[in-house]
Amino acid sequence: MKPAFYARPTLDVTADLIGKVLVHDGRGRRTAGVIVEVEAYIGEDDPACHAAPGPTKRNAPLYGPPGRAYVYLNYGLHYLVNAVTEPVGSPAAVLIRALEPLEGVELMVQRRQKSRRVAFYEKRKKRTDGFFHDLCRGPGNLTVAMAIGPRHNGADLWKGKLRIEDRGITPPALEWSRRIGIRVGVEQPWRCTWRGHAAISGGGPRRRG
């Protein structure tokens, strides 16, 4: 996924990211998942976007080249990963909210289990569909499962160890709805999901049209 893919209107990139594959090659071990849920955050006029207060040291990647990762610590708990969009100087990004696990599932299980004080789901022994889709459901869970952290902030998403690939996967239909997990800017229908996918996080989608 070359920079030109990201240097477009953010909502176009948002829709086109569904079905793409997020890959992380770390220490010789690969994890990957199909992107099934994302949210757009666009510009200084978007109160939910980190660019709302203007340029800062923290949000500098949003103003930089498209196709870079913007990774930040959310509420002191989990790191979240975004793909920076639009030309340099136009701050915007797409938050990756959920994946369908594709490669390195056992490694994802180990990481999720290690991150908890108690065992991660006894269902792991039965390997149910519900358990499988829980692994990368939610933006904080997927970064734990994929071992994505602050060292990836500003990384190129088209050629590095952390990247987004096009493997020819096409969702049958998309859903648009309001963004979730935020307190401001909630009226914007900028959350896009693979319609009906079991791995999407809370807040049922509604079709835009």
Q: Which pLDDT tens digit goes with each residue over 114-146? A: 876 435 455 444 444 567 899 999 999 999 999
pTM for the full model? 0.90
Q: Is the pLDDT of residue 204 over 70?
A: no
Handedness of CA 42, 46, 48, 49 (dihedral sign): positive
pLDDT band for position 9 (cuts 50, 70, 90): very high
